[in-house]
Amino acid sequence: MILIDPLHLAIALGPVAAYLFVLGIINLSSRPLLTTGARDAAALAIAMGGMVVAGPMELFLVEEAAVLYDGWVWVIMLAAYALTVVLVILLLQPRLVVYNITLEQLRPLLADVVARLDSDARWAGESLVMPQMGVQLHLETLPLVQNVQLVASGLDQNILGWKRLEIELATTLRKSRAPRNPLGVVAIGLALLIAAGITFVLARDPSGVMQAMNEMLRR
């Protein structure tokens, strides 16, 4: 049986709890929330960052580097992780994510925005081509979390066209309402449960936490 010390448990699960809490708040809102794929991926990377620190970074930490740079080695590794995340985000295809809305609710709102932006726009099922804007996309939905994504189709995309679509759609969504998703209560409850568990294990052995912290920073 593998036992994880309280410090590493807090580092691994703390960001996850924060992510679930924010996701729960979003799902309990009465308004849809539009974000870009880049911001969505960055939020997920932050949520997983604790697991990366407590897992691969700790496991593959070079002893010589730890001796040479002391605690600063963690700053270097976190900077490397952040740069890797930025690189991955820059390589991603354009994508817009709309939280707290169903496909049936979004489709007419999006159709209205598209009609204003590009008179030559064509629909084919859940796929959309906007030749004047240089945008080609298809809709993907996650009904359980009331999440709809506008995902780029193909490599020939106009970033400025995507930006205009984002601005116009965000303006339209501000005027709309959406039913609260009960899953938000589950997400918040799970986040609070994880936070309570972290607090308990940290408070139960503060000396052990400090010892683990010192060992982690000295490596």
| CATH at 133 | 3.30.310.180
Identify whether residues 134 and 51 lie together within a single domain: no
Identify whether residues 205 and 143 lie together within a single domain: no
- State the pLDDT at residue 1: 37
**For every one of its 219 residues, what pLDDT tens digit does the chain have, with 9 covering 90 and above?**
345 788 888 999 999 999 999 999 998 988 899 999 999 999 999 999 989 988 777 777 766 666 666 667 788 888 999 999 999 999 999 999 999 898 999 999 999 999 999 999 999 989 999 999 999 999 999 877 889 999 999 888 999 999 999 999 999 998 888 778 888 899 999 999 999 999 998 888 888 788 777 777 654
- State the pLDDT at residue 208: 78
Contacts of 23 (CB under 8 A, 6+ apart): 145, 184, 187
The domain containing residue 135 runs over which residues? 94-177
Identify whether residues 111 and 87 lie together within a single domain: no
Identify whether residues 88 and 5 lie together within a single domain: yes
Identify whether residues 117 and 172 lie together within a single domain: yes
Identify whether residues 15 and 48 lie together within a single domain: yes
Identify whether residues 85 and 104 lie together within a single domain: no
| Confidence (pTM) | 0.86
- State the pLDDT at residue 68: 66
What SS3 class is residue 159?
helix
Identify whether residues 118 and 33 lie together within a single domain: no
Identify whether residues 20 and 84 lie together within a single domain: yes
Q: What's the one-letter identity of residue 14?
A: G
Tokens of 40: 């969505």
Q: Could you give the number of structural domains in the chain?
A: 2
- State the pLDDT at residue 63: 67
- State the pLDDT at residue 218: 59
Contact 21, 187 (CB under 8 A): yes
- State the pLDDT at residue 77: 86
- State the pLDDT at residue 179: 78
User: Which runs of consecutive H residues, i.e. helices, occur in the chain?
Assistant: 6-27, 37-52, 58-59, 63-69, 72-91, 103-117, 159-173, 183-204, 206-218
Identify whether residues 100 and 88 lie together within a single domain: no
Identify whether residues 203 and 217 lie together within a single domain: yes
- State the pLDDT at residue 2: 46
